[in-house]
Amino acid sequence: MGRKPSNKPTSFDIAYLAGVSQPTVSRALRGSRSISQATRERIERIAREIGYTVDKNASSLRSQRSNTLALLFFEDPTPDESNINPFFLAMLGSITRHCANRGLDLLISFQRMEDDWHQRYQDSHRADGLILLGYGDYTLYESRLRQLVRQETHFVRWGSVDDSMIGATVGSDNFGAGRLAGEHLLARGRRRIAFIGTADGHYPEFQARYNGLSKAVITAGIGIDPALQIDAITSEEAGRAATRQLIEAGVGFDAIFAASDLIAIGAMRALAERGLKVPDDIAIVGFDDIPPASLTSPPLTTVMQDLRGAGELLVETLLAQIEDRPGPPAELPTRLIVRGSTGG
C-alpha cells in the first residue's frame, strides 16, 4: 500500500488508490468472478482516470501457468524420523496419481512456519498453488493461513470442513464419523466410552469427532462425563501416555474411541501393560485406517477415510481456484471398518 502514483501508471498505482492489493487489481482487470462487482467497477474507473493501459505482453506472461502444484507437509511426531503421519503418506499416492492424470507436476516439501510459502512457490511461479497437509495445531498456523488469503495465494488444506476455517478446506465428515464410532461401541454394549485426543480449537478435526461421539452417547440416554476425555496429539506415545493417565485417574471405562489410529495403537500398548485385554475388558476404535491398523493384536476397528477421493478432491478444489471457477463439494463420507478390537 504506501505507494504513490508514478509518471507511468501501473497496477500498483491503481492498488494504492483503490485501497486493495495488486493481485486484486490484476484479477479485476481480467474480469475475475472472484472480485465483487463494486470493487471491479471502482478499479476500472480509477484505471481510466489515471490513464492506465494493460501491457498485453506482460499480462500474457503473468497469466502463464507452471502446471505444477506444491504439496507441503506439516511435520508430525512419528516413531521413525519421517515426521509424516502415515495417513498422509497414503494420501500422497492419490494426490500424485490425480496430478498425473491432469498432466500436472507435483513438488513436495515440508511446511515451516518461518518460511514465506507464497514467495517460494506461487509468487516465484514454481507452482500455481499449494496443497497443505498435516494434523498440526491449527492455532499455530492460523495467522499464516490468513496471510496466504491476504496475498491471494491459491491454496487448499486438508482439515475440518467448517465455515469458520480460513481458506479452502477439504476433509472428511468427522462429526458423522464420531457418531458412527459411538453407535458401534454402544451396540456392543459399551456404556463408558473414553475419547483420547485433544478436543478443542487447536485440533478442530478431533473436536468434531468427539462431538459426534458425544451426540451418540446423549442420544442413547447416557450423560457425558468430562473425565472420559483425555488430550493427546496424534502419536503412539501420546496415546500410550493418555491411556495411562485415564487408568491412573481411576475413571471407569469399557471402551476407547481414539482420535487417530496412532493414538489407538499407543492406547492398546498401555492397556496390555496393565493386563487389560482388548476387546474383553476394553473395546477400542481408531480413526484413519492406516496400514498398521490391520496388523495390531487384535486388529483395530477403525474409521476409514476415502484416500482416493481425498487426493482427487484436494487437486480439483485447488484447480478450481486457479481457474477461477466454482469448486466441488468439500466433505467426504467415511466408513467404519470392524475388526477384532471391538469383537468384530
**Which triple of cell numbers denotes residue 157?**
488444506
Predicted confidence at residue 7, as pLDDT, reads 66
The superfamily in CATH containing domain 11-63 is lambda repressor-like DNA-binding domains (1.10.260.40)
164-177 average pLDDT score: 89
Instruction: Tell me the Ramachandran region of residue 258: left when phi exceeds 0, alpha when psi lies from -120 to 50, beta otherwise.
Output: beta
Pick the more confident residue, 161 or 53.
161
27-31, 52-56, 334-338: least confidently modelled range: 52-56
Q: Which of 134-143, 156-165, 289-298, 328-337 has the lowest mean pLDDT?
A: 134-143
- Within this chain, domains 68-171+307-330 and 174-306+336-342 share the same CATH topology: yes
Residues 155 and 129 sit within 8 Å (Cβ to Cβ): yes
Identify the CATH homologous superfamily for domain 174-306+336-342.
Response regulator (3.40.50.2300)
Average pLDDT over residues 232-256: 95
- Is residue 313 over pLDDT 70? yes
Q: Which of 32-36, 168-172, 245-249 has the lowest mean pLDDT?
A: 32-36
What integer is the mean pLDDT of 92-105? 92
C-alpha torsion angle, residues 33, 325, 205, 269 (rounded to 10):
-150
**Dmax over Cα atoms in the chain, in whole Å?**
81
Alpha helices by DSSP H, listed for the chain, are: 11-18, 22-29, 37-49, 56-63, 86-101, 117-120, 138-150, 174-187, 204-219, 236-248, 261-273, 307-322
Give pLDDT, residue 328: 85
| C-alpha span between 58 and 12 (Å, rounded) | 14
Q: For the chain, which residues make up each domain, given as ranges?
A: 11-63, 68-171+307-330, 174-306+336-342
The pLDDT of residue 77 is above 90 = no
Pick among 1.10.3720.10, 3.40.50.10490, 3.40.30.10, 3.40.50.2300: CATH of 68-171+307-330: 3.40.50.2300
DSSP state of 172: E
More confident residue, 59 or 34: 34
Helix (H, G, I), strand (E, B) or coil at 104: coil
Instruction: Please report the pLDDT score of residue 1 as a whole number.
Output: 44
